[in-house]
Amino acid sequence: MFVVDSPIGPLGVVTEGDVVVGVRFGAQPRPTGEHRATEELRAYFAGELTGFTVPVEMRGGSEFERAVWAEIARIPYGEMVTYGAIATALGDPGAARAVGTACNHNPVPVIVPCHRVVGAGGKMVGFGGGLDRKRRLLELEAKVSLTRLWG
């Protein structure tokens, strides 16, 4: 596991070869080697990267969870989508809570941006890394988006 220092605390990045298979919040800081994922995460937190290119393998999860993760991966940088909208996109408008559970089980948070999923009306609810981390990630992306828009 590689550890990346970030504004939301240390992140543990689990890899197999070049592929990221996990990201863990609150990893124990320790000396770490370099991996393309660590470079991309540092660039993301510096506001220099708005789209990850590192290969990711989403392991585990039910068929529904994998479908949710695929929808989450399509949410553009700096944008938010509701749990209900994802449930509707998957053909089950009543499954907003199940979408929330799937988001909580996302094995590769930040890179697969479950922090961009919010409650109805944009409410800040639920996040496996805690609401403070979710808020900080959304604020970072909003700031970078505004800076790019207005210079």
Provide the domain limits for residue 125: 63-150
Does this model's pTM top 0.85? My answer is yes
Q: State the Cα angle at 7 between 86 and 55, rounded to 5°.
A: 55
Instruction: Give residue-wise pLDDT tens across range 75-124.
Output: 999 999 999 999 999 999 999 999 999 999 999 999 999 999 999 998 89
Do 79 and 143 lie in one domain? The reply is yes
Do 103 and 38 lie in one domain? The reply is no
Do 72 and 146 lie in one domain? The reply is yes
pLDDT number for residue 125: 87
- Indicate the number of domains in the chain: 2
Do 28 and 79 lie in one domain? The reply is no
CA-nearest of 140, 56, 70, 138 to 103 is 70
Catalytically active residues, by annotation = 114
Report whether pLDDT(33) > 80. no
- CB of 109 closer than 8 Å to CB of 93: no
Do 41 and 73 lie in one domain? The reply is no
Which two three-digit tokens encode residue 102?
Answer: 């799937």
- Listed in sequence order, the DSSP H helices in the chain are 36-45, 63-73, 83-89, 96-104, 131-150
Do 75 and 6 lie in one domain? The reply is no
